[in-house]
Amino acid sequence: MDWETFKALPVAQVARLVRQAGPKVCVFPINGTRRWFLLEYPPGPDEDPIEAYLDMAGRCHLKLYQLLFDHGLDTLLTPVFGPDLVERGPDYMAAAARGLAMLATDPRFLEFYTASQVRVRFYGDYRRFFGATPHAHLPELFDQLTTATQTNDGHRLFVGVCAQDATETIAQLAIEYYRQTGQVPDKRILIERYYGEYVAPVDLFIGFDKFCAFDMPLVATGNEDLYFTVCPSLYLTEEQLRGILYDHLYSRGGGDPDYAAMGPEEWEQMRRFYRLNLGKTLGVGVRRGSAGVWYPLPQVEWPAEWPITGL
């Protein structure tokens, strides 16, 4: 199927094609939310900026979850918090804790989980991290939500909290399993213990900013397709998501190239493309402005004689 045809399909048909390729696990850390908010919804002088940020970001998180599920993605892993964020100060930490609590208590989120039959689980080392902080109540809220949604069978949402390094947690899970059974756990058992249920290997990762895939312990195999948006995650559009899905379904698959099938002209075209792009590297960027924001540099030069028929 060509891109123009795929782009014009109804949402339900796109979802059907995605599901026909098997249940899809997508990792989507929603990043760049502060700059998105300040650019699109700068708070007024009499407005509480934290309250406004949490409200608008929450609304847009739900829209993105719905967009991804509507397009046929079965399981979504979304890392939302890592200990490195503590370096932004206690005020940011307090706001982040409120945002995490919203996931488990805000009526809009709870209605979404019910209406879309979303089963929610939390993964990561958050119990140990929050235990000695003013936010020690969060794990209990997470447990309550997991229990409340455990029978939902439409989609799965795994929220990553302090999932940056699972080594010690996985080691402890293995020790506990051995004590209980006298057997060494296999990978599937460790995945079930870590995530609360089995999660298949990741199919695609949608990041933003610097090229970096993270916070998907045990389910990252190196075979996942990596995508990085130029704009912050909350700017993701339906057509942009369709472009990612089209590339995942039709462009990246198919196995290794059959070089024996290539004629002399195709080899020469390949040579021209690589010579045109010698010394260029995807993922290179520069810092600009007083805040030192990282921006990606344009790298690939497309040969003038090649028609652009893709995305």
Q: What is the pLDDT of residues 249-304, one digit of tens each?
A: 999 877 788 999 999 999 999 999 999 999 999 999 999 999 999 999 999 998 88
In a domain, 72, yes or no: yes
d(CA 53, CA 34): 8
- Overall average pLDDT of the 223-238 stretch: 97
Q: Does one domain contain both 222 and 123?
A: yes
Residue 230: partners with Cβ closer than 8 Å, 6 or more residues away = 296
Q: Does one domain contain both 246 and 301?
A: no
Residue 90's pLDDT band (boundaries 50, 70, 90)? confident
In a domain, 257, yes or no: no
Query: For the segment 27-50, what is each residue's pLDDT rounded down to a tens digit?
Result: 999 999 999 999 999 988 888 999
Residue 144's pLDDT band (boundaries 50, 70, 90)? very high
- DSSP secondary structure code for residue 166 in this structure: -
Q: Identify the pLDDT of residue 86.
A: 67
Model confidence at 310: pLDDT above 70: no
**Residue owning tokens 């406004």:** 52
d(CA 108, CA 132): 30
CATH number at residue 50: 3.40.1180.10
- Average pLDDT of the chain, as a whole number: 93
CB burial string 100-137: b at 16+ within 10 A, e below: bbbbbebeebbebbeebebbbbbbbbbbebbeeeebee
In a domain, 258, yes or no: no
d(CA 159, CA 167): 18
Q: Does one domain contain both 227 and 280?
A: no
Segment (H or E) for 293: strand 293-296
Q: Identify the pLDDT of residue 77.
A: 98
- Overall average pLDDT of the 113-123 stretch: 98
Residue 221: partners with Cβ closer than 8 Å, 6 or more residues away = 201, 202
Look up residue 40 and give its amino acid.
Answer: E
Model confidence at 140: pLDDT above 80: yes
